[in-house]
């Protein structure tokens, strides 16, 4: 096979064109329109704001589930500091990864992107973070439900109430464990919050209230071809 490949003439890439590079640089990754109620954020707008606010020398840890798509389109980050947790799509495990990265780096420059349903599964690890004096930033995309499940239920016209549990007050929970916490309902909060985070030495949880109506392009594609059927 290597011999045959070596005999092929060199060709220019047919996909990675200057026009595609321009579109990736200038166009939003997803331009679908959704109605977002007041006080609830579009997760795509949240991602854009986080991309502007957060320092690019941070390690990023990515949880699984529906929320995992949104921050995957952030640009300019070091790929060697990007830690993706999948584990066959099982949610809830990424906080352990983030603890490990924070313990290894020892610089407070670690951010975990996670969903609300995932964090609930191992919420007690906030005590571990406090006990070991670790500093890391936890950004929770809180849609008040298990995101992947509600979109699959709705696609099939089924009752989605079993996957909805409301919006836990993660800011209050974090403070109960001795950490810092903030509820985010306006992306304009993020700049000051990040400045304050950098100025202190404690882990912090941002409870970011996002809409449960926005469906990622990846999920939309799966639902169209039937891969998202319950």
* Three-class SS state of 227: coil
CB atoms within 10 A of CB 198: 13
pLDDT-wise least confident of 18-32, 121-135, 176-190: 18-32
pLDDT score of 10: 66
Please determine, for residue 59, whether its predicted confidence score (pLDDT) is greater than 70: yes
What's this model's pTM, rounded to 2 decimal places? 0.85
- Of the pLDDT bands very low, low, confident and very high (cuts 50, 70, 90), residue 49 is very high
8 Å CB contact between 45 and 187: yes
Element (H, E) at 209: strand 204-209
Q: Options 3.60.40.10, 3.40.50.970, 3.50.50.60, 3.40.50.300; which CATH number does 41-225 get?
A: 3.40.50.970
């Amino acid at each position: 096979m290597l011999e045959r490949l070596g005999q092929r003439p060199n060709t220019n890439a047919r996909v990675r064109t200057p026009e595609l590079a321009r579109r990736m640089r200038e166009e939003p990754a997803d331009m679908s329109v959704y109605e977002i109620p007041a006080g609830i954020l579009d997760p795509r707008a949240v991602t854009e704001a986080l991309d502007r606010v957060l320092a690019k020398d941070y390690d990023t840890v990515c949880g699984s589930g529906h929320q995992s798509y949104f921050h995957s389109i952030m640009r300019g980050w070091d790929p060697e500091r990007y830690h993706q947790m999948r584990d066959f799509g099982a949610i809830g495990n990424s906080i352990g990864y983030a603890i490990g990265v924070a313990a290894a780096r020892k610089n407070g420059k670690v951010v975990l992107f996670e969903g609300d349903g995932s964090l609930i599964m191992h919420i007690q690890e906030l005590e571990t973070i406090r006990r070991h004096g670790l500093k890391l930033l936890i950004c929770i995309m809180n849609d008040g439900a298990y995101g992947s499940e509600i979109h699959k239920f709705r696609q099939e016209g089924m009752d989605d109430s079993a996957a909805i549990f409301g919006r836990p007050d993660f800011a209050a929970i974090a403070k109960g464990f001795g950490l810092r916490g903030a509820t985010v309902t306006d992306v304009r909060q993020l700049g000051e919050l990040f400045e304050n985070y950098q100025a202190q030495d404690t882990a912090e949880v941002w409870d970011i209230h996002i809409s449960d109506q926005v469906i990622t392009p990846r999920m939309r594609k799966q639902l169209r071809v039937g891969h998202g059927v319950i």
